[in-house]
């Protein structure tokens, strides 16, 4: 029987189900943990028809739960990982059981706090974390000593970090009024622990790091450890981003 349902890539079908992000789906396929109509499939480019094909992941039929889009105010002391060490706490401990299928859009390390977007929509996470869209991320940081005047420009020009051999830049660096050496910085693109590592290169120690906003999403009164759905305005702005090729 013919169908007009379009064929889509297997990794997209898994991501759309909310099981995991698309890159993780590729890993599961390569590991032989995905079956299509009863047969193990390991070819990443495989296409499927959602109306006629039967997909299982780790032996379980692929489900399609309602998509959710959440904002968590991550406190210090929680890792942004599903699996935590014996002495660590996972941010999933703060997420209601009905939302445990969500994944984080990006990460905040254990010693950092603030805006963390969560969703079970793999394509959504892929879009909002893709460098193509240059979504600004704003952080408030407190240092062990005031920034020297020359270092404001160094942070904007970029500091080369190893082993990536990449130039780590901050698009904005501003002083926050107060008694402590506190600053607001903005990143467009970033990589692992970029802010802390950049400041270490300039001989500073970050005492606290708090993500104020991620694109159009701001905490604005959400207490540490609290969670809320994204507003219609926030979500429509992010969903309007086209899917990267």
* pLDDT tens digits along 187-239: 987 788 999 999 999 999 999 999 999 999 999 889 999 999 999 999 999 99
- Work out the angle between the directed axes of helices 232-239 and 122-129 (0-180°, nearest 10): 80
Same CATH fold, 136-214 and 69-131+217-239?
Answer: yes
1 touches 9 (CB < 8 A): no
- CATH code given to domain 8-61: 3.10.290.10
Hey, which residues does 70 pair with through a beta bridge?
A: 118, 229
Cβ neighbours around 242 below 10 Å, total: 8
**Looking at the domain 69-131+217-239, which fold is it?**
Alpha-Beta Plaits (3.30.70)
Residue written as tokens 């254990």?
110
Question: What's the rounded Cα separation, in Å, for the pair 125 and 136?
Answer: 15
The pLDDT score that the predictor gives to residue 120 is 84
- Catalytic residue, candidates 109, 111, 123, 151: 109
The model's pLDDT over 39-87, given as tens digits with 9 standing for 90+, comes to 999 999 899 987 788 999 999 998 777 889 999 999 999 999 877 777 8
Q: What is the residue extent of each domain of the chain? A: 8-61, 69-131+217-239, 136-214
The reply to whether 157 belongs to the active site is: no
Q: Which of 220, 170, 112, 22 is nearest to 234 (CA)?
A: 220
Architecture of domain 136-214: 2-Layer Sandwich (3.30)
Q: How crowded is residue 99: how many other Cβ atoms within 10 Å of its Cβ?
A: 17
């Amino acid at each position: 029987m013919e169908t007009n349902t379009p064929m889509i890539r297997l990794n997209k079908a898994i991501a759309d189900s909310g099981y995991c992000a698309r890159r993780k789906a590729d890993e599961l396929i390569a590991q032989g943990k995905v079956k299509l109509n009863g047969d193990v499939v390991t070819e990443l480019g495989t296409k499927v028809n959602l109306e006629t094909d039967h997909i299982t992941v780790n032996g379980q039929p692929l489900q399609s739960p309602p998509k959710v889009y959440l904002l968590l105010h991550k406190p210090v002391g929680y890792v942004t990982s599903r699996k935590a060490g014996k002495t660590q706490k996972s941010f999933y401990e703060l997420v209601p059981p009905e939302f445990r299928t969500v994944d984080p859009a990006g990460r905040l390390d254990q010693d950092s706090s603030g805006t963390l977007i969560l969703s079970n929509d793999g394509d959504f996470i892929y879009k909002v974390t893709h460098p193509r869209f240059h979504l600004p991320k704003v952080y408030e940081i407190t240092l062990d000593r005031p920034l020297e005047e020359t270092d404001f420009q160094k942070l904007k020009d970029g500091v080369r970090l190893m082993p990536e051999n990449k130039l780590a830049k901050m698009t904005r660096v501003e002083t926050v009024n107060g008694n402590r050496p506190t600053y607001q910085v903005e990143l467009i693109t970033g990589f692992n622990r970029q802010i802390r590592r950049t400041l270490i290169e300039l001989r500073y120690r970050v005492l606290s790091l708090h993500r104020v906003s991620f694109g159009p999403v701001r905490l604005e009164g959400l207490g540490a450890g609290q969670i809320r759905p994204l507003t219609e305005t926030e979500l429509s702005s992010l969903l309007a981003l086209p899917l990267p090729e």
